[in-house]
Amino acid sequence: MNIFESMSFIRNRLNISQGDMLSNTTHSTYSRIESGKRQIKLETLLEIADRFGMNHEELFQFFDMDNEYQKFIDIFRTFADDTDDETNKEKLLTNFFPKKELGKMDSYELTYYFSIKGHLGSILSEIGTPTAEDQKFIVKYLTTKSFFTQKDYQIGMNIITHLPLKERIKIMDKMYPVILPEKRTPSLKRYANHMMTNLISICIYKLEYETAMKYIEIAENTMDFSIDYYLRLNILYHKNVVLRFLKQDTIYITQAREIIKLMYAIGDPQTAKQFETDLNKLTDNPKEYQNNNNYPRTVVRE
């Protein structure tokens, strides 16, 4: 629902007449506000929230203020879960893959471009993975910023596995930890955390175990695992894989397999199966992914 539909929906559910909504506002004036015929100010929205007995955050949660972006997220995730779906592939590429120069793309188009190429480029041969030009552009774009949005973290988590070690570290150290986390949305923080786990994964695939452990320790010291047990298991899994190679002790592989069992138990068979396959390959041949970009990938959990 948009803002006006949400206001009407809540007001009717609470059995409040339009004339009783705002002080010093007539029934006719409020009707024009609710129908979208009159501009609504922030102060008015806050007064409406108060009339509904809601705080502003609760009211704003009803508003779909970024419909196009949400459509992209929905189609992107659906196709990522089933890459044989030609219908969603067509929707994704036709509606959201930009056909213009990088420097002329807005923030939405950059998000679409690097999310599709970064996460799905190895599957979509007509798109391909990020080129050297793409990488150079986005490293400069991200490292010259001093404040990062949700779209920046979505770009970061999808591009980071394609970059050389030096650029990976440069971007991660610039963007993490999240500035003012108490002011950020849960989605932004999930993207930032997923960016971190992607960095750790790629370091393992490239045999950069010391670097992987460095960021595992940063994650353990900065992430709030009390509200996300899945994230805790993800970090623990990667930590045990790294320790197996750093300490040359197979006990850590056994512990990693126990974590995979827990993932099955908490209802995440998709990630559990991926980690299981991944672990078997890395155990048999640690260099399995060293010289290619065909890495296992997961979509952010909501």
142-163 average pLDDT score: 95
Domain stops at, among 60, 75, 103: 60
41-52 tens-digit pLDDT: 889 999 999 999
Question: Of 263, 261, 203, nearest to 230 (Cα)?
Answer: 263
**Cβ atoms 22, 51 nearer than 8 A:** yes
In a domain, 110, yes or no: yes
Cα separation, 57 vs 199, in Å, equals 32
- Asked if 197 and 301 sit in the same domain, the reply is yes
- Asked if 217 and 302 sit in the same domain, the reply is yes
In a domain, 268, yes or no: yes
How large a percentage of the chain has pLDDT more than 90? 75
- Asked if 127 and 207 sit in the same domain, the reply is no
- Asked if 56 and 83 sit in the same domain, the reply is no
In a domain, 285, yes or no: yes
In a domain, 182, yes or no: no
Q: Provide the pLDDT confidence category of residue 295 given band limits of 50, 70 and 90.
A: low
- pTM tops 0.95, yes or no: no
232-249 average pLDDT score: 96
- Asked if 43 and 118 sit in the same domain, the reply is no
Q: What are phi and psi of 136, to 5 degrees?
A: -60, -45
198-212 tens-digit pLDDT: 999 999 999 999 999
The number of folded domains in the chain is 3
- Asked if 151 and 236 sit in the same domain, the reply is no
| Average pLDDT for the chain | 91
19-76 tens-digit pLDDT: 999 988 889 999 999 999 998 888 999 999 999 999 988 888 888 767 788 899 899 9
Cα separation, 190 vs 299, in Å, equals 11
Which domain does 24 fall in, by range? 3-60
110-132 tens-digit pLDDT: 999 999 999 999 999 999 999 99
- Asked if 92 and 118 sit in the same domain, the reply is yes
- Asked if 166 and 72 sit in the same domain, the reply is yes
- Asked if 86 and 168 sit in the same domain, the reply is yes
